[in-house]
Structure 1
Amino acid sequence: MKRVIAVSLLALALAACKKEATPPAPAAGTPAPGTLPAPVATDDGPVELKEVVETTPDYVIGISYATQAAKYPGLARELRRYADAARSELLEAAKGRTAKENPSPYELSLTFDDVLDAPQMMAVSADGSSYTGGAHAAPLIARFVWLPQQNKLLTAAELVPQKSGWDAISRYVREQLHSALSQRIDADDLAPAVRAEQIETGGRMIDDGTASDPANFAMFEPVKAADGKLAALKFVFAPYEVGPYSDGTQTVEVPAAVLLPHVAPAYRSLFSGG
């Protein structure tokens, strides 16, 4: 998977071979005092989304906000919370770093981009990586879908409230991922026994990662139709969720026609045909 380099000034510092690490959880707890940028404003005030560039012998951090989310303080606060948690976890790990065990500095690279900016919905992607030792960097991937009129994040569980809906979405997503898996493996021209083993292992990861639980579909992006409404949702799966690290981030677009029978009535008007 290509790692996202959040700040161009860090390109040389981040070019070294990366090793495995455990990614920070979004919005994890209250970070330790003294390890974060300036405090986020109160719920009623503006939130500054300011580029972060930090370089020391122990760590390199680059956080970039290529987004217009600051116009919605509640959304901006969620982005800052995610970035602050990732930064806090990296700084905590860096306290225990030794040059002998880890000659390369620990590194955090994270960028926020706008996926959709419309009056009824704004969506922002967070992509990057965190390296705190190991075989390679851990991916940092999150998606934020904001409803300006309700002043809140839209969650998968709220969008599709019934398990029967997730059963249908799960079936559709699994079909697409299994098909993509077969195509990737066929392209490698493997021996039959090796192919069968990879199909079985990969298929098991897909089935585990797409069980009909909204938590497995928490990351999604709106796909805009020509009429300005939503033609589909693109569900995003980080490495390890439905495949090995080498497969990178995987996505599946689920069309509105599949989603609409299961979408909560309050949100059907967001979709074409709803």
Structure 2
Amino acid sequence: MILSSLVVLSACDRGQAPAADAPSSQAAGGTPEPGTPEPAPAPEPVELKDVSEVTSDYVVGITYPPSAMKYPGLAAELKRYADDAREDLMQAVAARTEGEAATLYDLSLTFTEVANTPQLFAIAADGSSYTGGAHSSPLLARFVWLPEQQQRLRITDLFPADGDGWAEIASQVRESLHTALSQRLDADELSPGERERMMRDARRMIEDGTGPEAENYSEFEPVVGRDGRIEAIRFVFPPYQVGPYSDGEQVVQLPASALLPYVAEQYRKLFSTR
């Protein structure tokens, strides 16, 4: 089935809907609806402090949105991700030999709020780390939080790993990426031989990176409408997964109408049915 609503977006086109009231996941009287996960115990508060370090060996810049502090469990995950990235940089700095060229290593990481409703809160982590070589290594992660349950929503929660939807999701994502690839190559006005070579190499990367396995789609963002419900899911792919480094981050958006038949029952209430 071909979906005309598929859209490939650049990272800078990411939108955010205003917070809106949406139906509660609890029935009247405070009793959870059947199938709704039990709220997790509240974790200890975690302070998220922006980091700015400049030395003769390295530079580190990490920024957080203040709103992420509302949810300590989420804040802990964001800090853990940033701490791991910084530790990798520090290990690379320590491993440099005395005779190695004094190239300045760096880590740049920004956490950005991309959705904020009573039912969903989402953060995008984007950045890079340079520890030598031709270019930086990309840093990319997405964190979708369920405030009522105080837990992270992962792609295998929405679409079970053994569910029927993965073949269809993979097919639609692959088709959209192939279309975008063809458009980019057309715009470059390449010779027929060069176009064929680049098309062949890039199509192979798309095929390899979009198999119907849940781990290929682990980084995603909910696109939330004015009613607070999910209108679409953006699957985000880092450089190298579905294209060369020069193509950068790539994003494919699938509408809720295409995904809803495959969404786990307990999360369907999060989605728009329009």
TM superposition score category, shorter chain reference: 0.7 to 0.9
Give the direction of change, closer, same or farther, for the CA distance of 1:75–1:135 in structure 2 (3 Å limit).
Answer: same
Q: Flag as ranges the 4+ runs of structure 1 deviating above 4 A.
A: none
- 1:103: how far off? 2.4
**Structure 1 residues 19-75: Cα deviation after superposition (integer angstroms, max 9, x where no partner):** xxxxxxxxxxxxxxxxxxxxxxx9632110001111111111111112411110000
Does residue 182 (structure 1) correspond to residue 182 (structure 2)? The answer is yes
| Corresponding position: 1:222 with 2:219 | no
Q: Which residue is 1:53 aligned to? A: 52
Deviation string 1:209-254 (CA, Å, 9 cap, x unpaired) is 0100110000000101232211100000000010000000000001
Contact 2:11–2:250 at 8 Å: present in 1 too? no
CA distance in structure 2 between the partners assigned to 1:62 and 1:204 by the alignment: 35
Partner residue of 1:143? 142
For 1:206, the aligned partner's letter is: I
Cα RMSD of the aligned pairs, angstroms, is: 2.0
Contact preservation (8 Å) 2:59, 2:105: yes
Aligned match of 1:255: 255
State the alpha-carbon separation in 2 of the partners of residues 110 and 121 from structure 1.
23
Q: Contact 2:118–2:147 (CA<8 Å) still a contact in 1?
A: yes
Give how far 1:3 is off: 12
Amino acid across the alignment from 2:62: I
On the 8 A contact 1:67/1:124 being kept in 2, the answer is no
- CA offsets, 1:64-101, max 9 Å, x none? 11241111000000000000000011001100224642
Q: Call closer, same or farther: CA 1:177–1:99 in 2, change over 3 Å.
A: farther
More deviation in 100-109 or 150-159?
100-109
CA contact (8 A) 1:54 1:60 kept: yes
Partner of 1:31: none
2:126 and 2:207 mapped to 1: Cα distance?
24
Counting only pairs closer than 5 Å after superposition, residues 186-205 of structure 1 correspond to structure 2 as: 186-205=186-205
Quote how far apart the aligned CAs of 1:131 are: 0.4
User: Aligned with 1:187: secondary structure?
Assistant: helix
Shift of 1:151: 1.1
Q: Which residue of 2 aligns with 1:237?
A: 237
The reply to whether residue 68 of structure 1 matches residue 67 of structure 2 is yes
What's the TM-score, normalizing by structure 2?
0.82
Task: Considering Cα pairs closer than 8 Å and 6+ residues apart, tell me whether 1 or 2 has the greater RCO.
Answer: 2
Letter of the 1:109 partner, please give it.
S
User: Secondary structure of 2:56's partner?
Assistant: coil
Percent identity reads 54
CA contact (8 A) 1:116 1:222 kept: yes
- One-letter identity of the residue aligned with 1:84: D
For the 8 Å contact 1:173–1:252, the answer to whether it is kept is yes
Give the equivalent residue in structure 1 for 2:206: 206
Tell me which amino acid in the other structure corresponds to 2:169.
Answer: I
1:162-204 per-position Cα deviation (integer Å, ceiling 9, x unaligned): 4421111111111110000000011111111211111111111
For residues 215 and 91 of structure 2, the distance between their equivalents in structure 1, rounded to whole angstroms, comes to: 27
* Residue correspondences, number: 236
Is the 2:174–2:206 Cα contact (8 Å) retained in structure 1? yes
Q: Larger deviation: 93-102 or 228-237?
A: 93-102
Q: CA 1:91–1:209 in 2, change beyond 3 Å: closer, same or farther?
A: same
**Contact residue 62 and residue 108 of structure 1 kept, 8 A:** yes
In structure 2, runs of 5+ residues without a counterpart are 1-9, 13-40
Residues 1:109 and 2:108 aligned together:
yes
- The AA in structure 2 aligned to 1:57 is S
